[in-house]
Amino acid sequence: MNTPFENAMSQLDRAAGSMQLDAQLHARLRKPEKLHIVSLPVLMDDGSEKIFVGYRSQFNSILGLYKGGIRFADSVNADEVKALSFWMAIKTAAVGLPLGGGKGGVCVDPRSLSSAELERVSRAWVRALYDVIGPEKDVPAPDVATNPRVMGWMVDEYNQIAGVQTPAAFTGKDVSDGGVVARATSTSRGGFYLLEKIRQMHGKKPADMRVAIQGFGNAGMHMAQLVYDAGYTVVGVSDSRSSLISDGDCGIDPYKAQEVKKVHGSFAESPFENLCKERVRIGNSSDVITMDCDVLIPAAVENQITVHNAMEIQASLIIELANGPTTPEADRILEKRGVQVIPDVLANAGGVIVSYYEWYQNMHDEQWSEDETNEKLRVQISDAYMAISALCEEYKVSFRDGAFIHALLRMQKSLAASR
């Protein structure tokens, strides 16, 4: 299987070929502007010192400062952060933000660390990269296994070094640290607004749409709750170890699923059947991908929809909340089969849109209400959807290619203006 960065470059080349992309811009987009790899010496609870590897890829700043999350996982490597930072650059451009793309992480299994060790890893990442990040250079945010608590440690470390309160240095913070209430659910909410738009265009009722979601973290769990609250039927959810599958159309209550996860840590071996409606069974974590449903929402990690399962997918609509869940080869299969794919660079852009709103409010000392923030998000992501749809018509391309073309045209215009 290709690496995430190889997949990203293959997506770029395909879109570039459909629109006669400026050759200089095409060449620029094949490499990050800067890739920082740092050693993080961290004191462990037993008194020993462990060296972790930290990353920050600053892919592209054509449209503005670098923006993108920080991921803690033992799979983090240079290739992955390069790919994720490239997708961030495309995403911010595709939804009309004045931002470039970045991404970072630490190669660590966060479950193997105590809370104190996790805090020391977070602070070490900031100390090592302090010189290259900041509110007017590069503004990180949460991603897989990082959250407002981690952002709180990071912004506190940044403030200590800077000697001044700088809330705009990080987004996705707790409200008490200068964050915005709407950020926690914004990634899912953006995807949900798109799902609602598509449902209305097809003249369907929420109850007629059966939704399966892979991943039950920040993105997946909030999405499950949003669609459930709106009257859709959640027929499957999964985490990295197992899945809950509703065999009939009775559906799963994601709030109860959340309770179970809180108590048992995973769906596996949990007494879920006793807590929820009947006819729910526990399956493998990948079972949700190919289960009988109308809408599939990958919200876990990369490369989950591949040549090995693309033919078996039963959903007619895929909303990619995860980054890079579909390989380019699987994309071709889905396209041929007429499965509509709303690509990651649009589907999960709600997170970076509201992150931008948080940064903007911190920079301008403003505070918007949650409703105001959500409404701005709804308008911004819906406008991007319409603009991309028009390009898909014009260039006769898939939605992914249309989103890339939209982003690349914005970058091309900005470069032309600066020459």
Q: To 10 degrees, the CA torsion angle through 267, 273, 277, 279?
A: 100
Q: Which stretch binds ligand NAD (CB under 6 A): 59-67, 127-135, 232-240, 364-372?
A: 232-240
Q: Are 104 and 129 in contact (CB under 8 A)?
A: yes
Structure tokens that stand for 303 in this block = 């490369």
For ligand NAD, the binding residues in 135-164 under the rule CB under 6 A are 142-145
Helices (H), 20-141: 23-28, 78-94, 115-129
Site string for ligand NAD, 331-350 (x = CB under 6 A): -----------------x--
Q: Does 358 bind ligand NAD (CB under 6 A)?
A: no
Lay out the sheet containing 49-60: strands in order across. 34-43, 49-60, 101-107, 66-73, 138-142
Q: Give the shortest CB-323-to-ligand NAD separation in angstroms.
A: 4
Encoding tokens for residue 275? 């807590």
- Indicate whether 285 belongs to the interface with ligand NAD (CB under 6 A): yes
Give the residue with the Cβ less far from ligand NAD, 40 or 145.
145
Two tokens at 300?
């876990």
70 binds ligand NAD (CB under 6 A): no
Contacting ligand NAD (CB under 6 A), which of 216, 232, 272, 385? Answer: 216
- Which pair of structure tokens corresponds to residue 245? 């599958």
Q: Examine residue 220 and tell whether it contacts ligand NAD (CB under 6 A).
A: yes
Q: How far is the CB of 186 from ligand NAD (least distance, A)?
A: 7
Query: 223 to each of 82, 111, 172, 187, 236, how far by Cα in Å?
Result: 27, 24, 17, 8, 12
Among 215, 236, 251, 402, binds ligand NAD (CB under 6 A): 215
Does 91 participate in catalysis according to the annotation? no
The least distance separating ligand NAD from the CB of residue 21, rounded to whole angstroms, comes to 25
Near ligand NAD by CB under 6 A: residue from 61, 246, 323, 361: 323
CB of 220 to ligand NAD, least distance (A): 6
Closest distance to ligand NAD from the beta carbon of 163 (Å):
30
Nearest Cα neighbor of 285 from 272, 268, 297 is: 268
Tokens describing residue 143: 């991603």
Which among 38-46, 54-62, 161-169, 215-223 is the span making contact with ligand NAD, rule CB under 6 A? Answer: 215-223
- Of 67, 91, 103, 261, the active-site residue reads 103
Q: Which residue has the tokens 């179970």?
A: 260
To the nearest 10°, the Cα dihedral for 84, 187, 311, 306? 20
Contact residues toward ligand NAD (CB under 6 A) are: 142-145, 187, 214-220, 238-240, 285, 299-301, 321-323, 348, 351
Give catalytic residues, as residue numbers: 103
